[in-house]
Amino acid sequence: MQAQAPQIEGDIMMCPWTDGTASITTSQTYDSYQWYFKYWFLPGEYEAISGATGASFTYDWYTYDQALLKVVVTLDGSTFESNVIQVDSWNWVGLTVFNEMNDNVTFDPDTETYLLCEGTTFELSINNPPYDTNIVWYKNDTPIAGATQSNYLVTEPGYYYVSAAPSFCPDNSSNSLGFAVAWNLDCSLSVTNPNGNPIVQVYPNPAKDKIRISSQNFQPESYSILDVSGKAIQSGFLTADGILDVSTLSSGMYLLQINSDMQLTTHKIIKE
């Protein structure tokens, strides 16, 4: 049988934390084997790999990422060199979240927060492909029930991020950068009847100690006061006189939600 140069194949696209193997695919058996490598982006000669003296060579994803591999063999005093393969670990782009901005959401560069008008939404999506596997959206570091698609509709304040993996490396999930969403207190939140008159009036606003709530054809029952992150900081039932004590609030802007058995209204208030 006439000697021939070896042909090699191997795992060239590798997932993180995995090993790959390159092997001679030709049927010829040789007297000796020596595997060599070099990084394609560096000048210089191939280096012999210590201990890699068999018909196959197993390598890790990190050390040999972007490496060129070949094997040199001998048979009956003659030397033969194989073809070259290139290992390319992690050859896909990073996980990215895209925001579908609209008229109801703005970005505050000072606080790096997305400001959303209450009662509205905006959509988040990821780069799919390649991230199409094991998708989980998180709010405040907690998985969101049922949020396993490549897009997610934000409806309320919170700190959001997503975890996902490419299908060819399903065990290698990545987390996106997180971002904060808060209520935009500058949105128009007035509630009116068909004649254009307010159903609920909140005054004085700004207020120092107390706020009075009056209404037409609307019987307020309970209330919640939210900070700009959407966190409820005060709640309770309204008294018959409609007076609400806000003296314990720190100065700033808040959202006042007023509830009845038929309707929920939201109002921006300012505590002096």
- Averaged pLDDT for residues 106-118: 87
Q: How many domains does the chain have?
A: 3
What pLDDT score was predicted for residue 180? 94
CA 154 remoteness from chain centre: 13
Q: Are residues 34 and 101 in the same domain?
A: no
**Final residue of a structural domain among 153, 183, 213:** 183
pLDDT for position 99: 84
Torsion sign (Cα): 135, 136, 138, 141: negative
Same domain membership, residue 142 and residue 103: yes
Q: Is the pLDDT of residue 265 over 80?
A: no
**169 with 103, same domain?**
yes
What is the per-residue pLDDT across 58-70, written as a single tens digit (0 to 9) for each?
999 999 999 999 9
Verdict on whether the full-model pTM lies above 0.75: no
Please say if the pLDDT value at position 190 is more than 50.
no
Query: Which structural domain, as residue segments, surrounds residue 265?
Result: 200-271
Residue 92 lies in a domain: no
Q: Looking at 53, 86, 119, which one is the last position of a domain?
A: 86
Residue 215: the pLDDT is 73
Residue 189 has what pLDDT? 47
Instruction: With cut-offs at 50, 70 and 90, classify the pLDDT of residue 218.
Output: low
Shared-domain flag, residues 139 and 169: yes
Which domain CATH number covers 30? Answer: 2.60.40
**Residue 241, pLDDT score:** 80
Residue 192 lies in a domain: no
Residue type, 16: P
- The DSSP call for residue 202 is E
Measured in whole angstroms, how far is the alpha carbon of residue 163 from the centre of its chain?
Answer: 6
Model confidence pLDDT, tens digit, residues 9-46: 999 988 888 999 999 999 999 999 999 999 999 999 99
126 falls within a domain:
yes
Q: What is the pLDDT of residue 1?
A: 56
- Mean local confidence (pLDDT), 161-177: 92
Mean pLDDT of 194-223: 73
Asked if residue 45 and residue 70 are part of one domain, the reply reads yes
Model confidence at 184, pLDDT cuts 50, 70, 90, reads confident
Q: Note whether 49 and 24 are within 8 A (CB).
A: no
Task: Note the pLDDT of residue 261.
Answer: 65
- The pLDDT tens digits for 63-105 are 999 999 999 999 999 999 999 999 988 767 788 898 887 778 8
Q: What is the DSSP string of the chain?
A: -------EEE--S--TT-EEEEEE-SS---SEEEEEEEETTS-S--EEPTT--SSEEEEETTTTTTEEEEEEEEETTEEEE---EE---S-SPPP-EEEE--TTEEEETTTTEEEE-TT--EEEEE-TTTEEEEEEEEETTEEPTT--SSEEEE-S-EEEEEEEEETTSTT--EEPPPEEEEE-TTS----B-TTS-BSEEEESSSBSSEEEEEESS----EEEEE-TTS-EEEEEEPPTT-EEE-TTSPSEEEEEEEE-SS-EEEEEEEE-
Task: Kindly report the CATH number assigned to the domain that includes residue 145.
Answer: 2.60.40.10
Whether 176 and 120 map to the same domain: the answer is yes
Q: According to the model, what pLDDT value does residue 194 have?
A: 44
The pair of structure tokens assigned to 227 is 């900070």
Judge if 80 and 113 occupy the same domain.
Answer: no
Domain boundary among 60, 86, 112: 86
